[in-house]
């Protein structure tokens, strides 16, 4: 196997993403050693049982000792507090990164705590499932998925390249963009769809008991897909919506306008309008599949 890219990766937060990174770094030889640090004693105990880290004592100094890559894998709302707690233990020249689903807010929270000589390069793998916790992770989660890096303008190109090689080694395709652009794109492609899923499942749940059981019994694939998304972690998604408020509200405004157009077509019996609209959206689906990015493949979200 090719040389590891980092001597030691320390993963802070060992849920779905942190534990997947631990497994992937080992299975694909991206780091020589893996350390895990999680605020929850239960999670730390589970990490030890699973045997997915070389260092899992729960002590920040021990976890970060010799780590040339440290990745914050906690919900985005606590990234700043985590960075503040880690700052004193970061090795000079280390690369600090994260996996948060929102980037501007993470940069604002973390950057003030980054010691001089430490390279901070935020990242976001567009890969996940509705499951959370250390048991949910698997090493192939990042295969053929995008990982977006949002390096600051003055980032060391060698550090950016090294982080990109790490993600490529564990199977991801890497792209670089600004945090602002990332947050607008993801507001539309990930955050708004999750909000819609939470809302439609909530709407179904608001019906009386009879209707609710019928919804479950006859749930066709459209509704079932929404229930999968709406089963995603409440803490993680609360933090995403609060951290990407402006972009999500903008996309929600556009969404509501477009929904009103569809509503009017139905009310007016405008079959041609509906058919034209649905033909346009069907073409988008086809182009996603042609680009090999059908994340709704039948085995998506299952452990491999
Ligand atoms: N779940 C998904 O599908 C994806 C999640 N992300 C991002 O990855 C991050 C982690 O998400 P998951 O792994 O799904 O979450 P998770 O809920 O499975 O795991 C989060 C872990 O962080 C730990 N934690 C919380 N506060 C902490 C602190 N102060 N110090 C140390 N550990 C702490 C928790 O105990 C938990 O074990 C989030 O920022 C999320 O936005 C990114 C891509 C996909
Ligand atoms: O489970 C799904 O369908 C997802 O969309 C997973 C996901 C959740 C959050 C992210 O920031 C990226 C990917």
Task: Give distance in angstroms: CA of 236 to centre of ligand 1.
Answer: 7
> CA-CA distances (angstroms) from residue 150 to 50, 74, 97, 162?
32, 18, 10, 14
Tell me the CA–centroid distance for residue 128 and ligand 2, in Å.
5
DSSP of 58-87, one letter per residue? S-HHHHHTT-SEEEE-S-GGGHHHHHHHHG
CA-based radius of gyration for the chain: 21
The residue with tokens 């893996």 is 34
Task: Please give all residues whose beta carbon lies within 6 A of any atom in ligand 2, as ranges.
Answer: 101, 126-130, 190, 229, 301
Counted residue by residue, the chain has a size of 304
Which residues in the chain belong to E strands, given as ranges? 6-12, 31-37, 69-72, 95-98, 119-120, 123-125, 146-149, 173-176
- Closest ligand 2 atom, CA of 190? 5
Does the domain formed by 181-290 have CATH 1.10.357.10?
A: no
133 CA distance to ligand 2 middle (Å): 15
User: Residue-wise pLDDT tens for the chain (304 aa)?
Assistant: 799 999 999 999 999 999 999 999 999 999 999 999 999 999 999 999 999 999 999 999 999 999 999 999 999 999 999 999 999 999 999 999 999 999 999 999 999 999 999 999 999 999 999 999 999 999 999 999 999 999 999 999 999 999 999 999 999 999 999 999 999 999 999 999 999 999 999 988 888 777 777 877 777 778 889 999 999 999 999 999 999 999 999 999 999 999 999 999 999 999 999 999 999 999 988 888 887 765 543 333 333 3
* Contact between residue 162 and residue 168 where contact means Cβ atoms under 8 Å apart: no
Residue 292 CA to residue 304 CA, distance in Å, equals 19
Q: Write the ipTM.
A: 0.99
pTM score > 0.80 for this model? yes
* Yes or no: domain 6-177 corresponds to CATH 3.40.630.30: no
Of 87, 134, 236, the residue with max ligand 1 atoms within 8 A of its CB, to mutate for a pocket test, comes to 236
Taking the centre of ligand 2 as the mean of its atom positions, its distance from the CA of residue 270, in whole angstroms, is 35
Question: Any idea where the domains of the chain sit in the sequence?
Answer: 6-177, 181-290
């Amino acid at each position: 196997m090719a040389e590891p890219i980092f001597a030691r990766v320390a993963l802070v937060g060992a849920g779905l993403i942190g534990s997947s990174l631990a497994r992937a770094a080992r299975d694909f030889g991206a780091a020589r050693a893996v350390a895990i640090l999680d605020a929850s004693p239960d999670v730390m105990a589970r990490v030890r049982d699973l045997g997915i880290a070389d260092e899992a004592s729960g002590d920040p100094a021990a976890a970060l000792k010799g780590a040339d890559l440290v990745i914050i894998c906690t919900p985005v709302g606590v990234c700043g507090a985590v960075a503040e707690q880690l700052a004193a233990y970061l090795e000079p020249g280390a690369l600090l990164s994260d996996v948060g689903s929102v980037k501007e807010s993470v940069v604002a929270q973390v950057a003030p705590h980054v010691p001089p000589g430490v390279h901070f390069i935020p990242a976001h793998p567009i890969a996940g499932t509705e499951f959370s916790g250390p048991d949910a992770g698997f090493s192939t989660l990042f295969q053929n998925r995008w990982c977006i890096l949002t390096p600051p303008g003055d980032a060391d190109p060698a550090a950016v390249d090294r982080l990109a090689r790490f993600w490529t080694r564990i199977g991801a395709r890497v792209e670089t963009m600004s945090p602002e652009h990332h947050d607008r794109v993801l507001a539309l492609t990930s955050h708004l769809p999750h909000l819609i899923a939470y809302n439609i499942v909530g709407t179904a749940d608001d019906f009386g008991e009879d209707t609710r059981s019928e919804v479950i019994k006859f749930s066709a694939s459209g509704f079932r897909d929404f229930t999968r998304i709406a089963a995603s972690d409440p803490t993680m998604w609360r933090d995403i919506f609060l951290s990407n408020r402006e972009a999500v509200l903008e996309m929600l405004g556009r969404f509501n306008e477009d929904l009103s157009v569809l509503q009017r077509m139905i009310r007016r019996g405008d079959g041609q309008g509906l058919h034209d609209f649905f033909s346009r959206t069907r073409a988008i689906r086809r182009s996603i599949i042609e680009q090999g990015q059908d994340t709704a493949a039948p085995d998506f979200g299952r452990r491999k």
